Structure 1
Amino acid sequence: MEGPSIVILTEELKPFFKNVVDDLGGTMAEKFPELKGAIFKKARSWGKHLLLVFNNSSLRIHFLMFGSYRINDSRDREPKLRLVFGDDKVEFYSCAIKTITAKELKEYDWSIDLMSEAWDEKQVVKLFRKKPDAMVCDVLMDQAVFPGLGNIIKNEILFKLGIHPELLIGDLSPKMQLGLVREARDYSIQFYEWKKANVLKRNWKIFRKRKCPVCKSDLEIGKTGKLLRVSYWCDVCQPK
């Protein structure tokens, strides 16, 4: 789940704020006994992290590659964690969950979170330019630079700006570097709006496509960079 999807999840959890956790379930429930009877204060997102804050504890949930959640709509298998609020239940599947301290919560840097109102363009550009010898495809996926940016956003913004995924940061002009940072922010917000309107997939230009929507050439598809994440690109529109 990319950052915009986590923001939507925090919004879906708002009806449960200030409610008492009446019961727990799931394969990891025994690790968090303090949550039973706790008051659910708020939920926040930082990048791909979902932060659940209670009156006596806080959890960090990362949905990894295939994690998901359900609200009053159980799957046919046991979740990692189930939170019960009266007749309602929130369930988290295929994710990593851990308790974090108040100190750890305060250490989150909201100035680089793509979906945060505190996002600071200058700070992100500074971090971006510290990696001149790294491939663009790797730096975009670096959660210490672009928290919340995932593979969909990576592919879409590189295509939009005509940048080959295997170019190095140092290969880009300062103007292109700034443009890529800005597009990461702008597309993340657009991603959020499209997903809220249930039109996200129809707006993909290159992700999971076979033909370039501009020149109609066959797209290149392969694992790129040190992270070996799948990239989609057009050799004509995104020359190396």
Structure 2
Amino acid sequence: MPEGDTVFRTADKLRTALVGKALTRCDVRVPRYATVDLSGQVVDEVLSRGKHLFIRVDNASIHSHLKMDGSWQTGRVRVPVHKVRIVLETADSRAVGVDLGVLEVLERAGDVQTVAHLGPDLLGPDWSADVAAANLLADPDRPLAETLLDQRVLAGVGNVYANELCYVFGLRPHTAVGAVADPLRLMQRTQQMLWANRLRVQRCTTGDTRRGRELWVYGRANEPCRRCGTRIETDRSGDRVTYWCPACQR
């Protein structure tokens, strides 16, 4: 599931493949931008901002968002043609955007305005735990997991981290934000958790990277809690699935 760490790692992969190189092919398969051709121009930089990606080429910026199923793949790519949204090639590399939830070509000068509404980026230079904590507490009655998922509060948390953080802090996902004893510490731990996973293919929140041991509660409905053995409960009635240990999370 693409979250801030996945997007950060994707940007790093695209930098290696594209930055400093001239495009020999630019094939945008979104009707609105199908006539855009950046061939012959050099890719200057690749930026990640929360769950958003920007590939800057001369005066243009290719903005994408992976949503649930999207990905950027490099090298030899084997996917159905109808899933491909964009192909970028250089003399020695290839990057393909697959099932991208958002793909648009913007003027470079104003591209970041697209994400101006986002809170501090957990993996970016603008990260501020103090600002994020203030944003978190703006609505103290709001459910904690829902608030962590709000990209206007802080940018980069997805459903995996929202559930795992609730477990680590001993609070159920639907607990009101106002019940968090130390909001600043929560924001600091959130950033530490994503930072530790920014270059890992398989994210880990438990500290145990052995296969099947990486997560505390997410995706583990009816399995025993790793700390107390109580069976993990789940709620699938909302927009996002939540998981919690009824003993460890009050």
Q: TM-score, normalised by structure 1?
A: 0.88
Q: Which residue in the other structure is 1:38 paired with?
A: 41
Unaligned runs of 5+ in 2: none
CA deviations on 1:56-96 (whole Å, 9 max, x unpaired) are: 20011100111112111212312111101124210011111
Aligned equivalents of 1:49, 1:26: Cα separation in 2 = 18
More helix, by proportion: 1
Residue correspondence of structure 1 range 51-62 to structure 2 within 5 A: 51-62=54-65
Give the distance between the partners of 2:125 and 2:132, measured in 1 at CA. 14
1-structure distance, mates of 2:216, 2:203: 17
Partner of 1:20: 22
1:32–1:97 Cα change, 3 Å: farther
Partner of 1:221: 234
Indicate if the aligned counterparts of 1:60 and 1:99 stay in contact, CA closer than 8 A: yes
Q: Which of 50, 54, 63 does residue 53 from structure 2 map onto?
A: 50
TM-score scaled by structure 2? Answer: 0.85
Give the residue type in structure 2 aligned to 1:22: T
1:191, 1:200 within 8 Å by CA — same for their partners in 2? no
- Assess if the C-alpha contact under 8 Å between 1:38 and 1:56 holds in 2: no
Aligned-residue offset at 1:117: 3.0
Counterpart position of 1:5: 6
Moved more, 14-23 or 53-62: 14-23
Aligned partner of 1:127 in structure 2 is 135
Judging changes above 3 Å, is the alpha-carbon distance between structure 1 residues 99 and 81 closer, same or farther for their aligned structure 2 residues?
same
Task: Indicate whether 1:178 and 2:184 are aligned.
Answer: yes
Superposed CA deviations along residues 115-135 of structure 1, whole A, max 9, x for unmatched, are 013311111111111011211
CA contact (8 A) 2:27 2:34 kept: no
How many residue pairs align between the two structures? 235
Unaligned runs of 5+ in 1: none
Measured on the aligned residues, the alpha-carbon RMSD in Å equals 2.4
- Share of identical aligned residues, percent? 22
Match of 1:169 in 2: 177
Alignment-mate amino acid for residue 112 of structure 1: P
- For 2:54, what is the secondary structure of its paired residue? strand
Runs of 4+ residues deviating >3 angstroms: 106-111, 193-202
Residue 223 of structure 1: CA displacement?
A: 3.1
Counterparts of 1:21 and 1:193, CA distance in 2: 26
**Is residue 9–residue 199 contact of structure 2 (8 Å, CA) maintained in 1?**
no
Task: Say if 2:28 and 2:34, in contact at 8 Å, map to a contact too.
Answer: no
The CA distance in 1 between the partners of 2:97 and 2:44, in whole Å, is 18
What's the secondary structure of 1:229's corresponding residue?
coil
8 A Cα contact 1:34 1:56, kept in partner: no
* Pair 11,194 (structure 1): closer, same or farther in 2 beyond 3 Å: closer
Question: In structure 2, how many angstroms separate the alpha carbons of the residues matched to 1:130 and 1:111?
Answer: 13
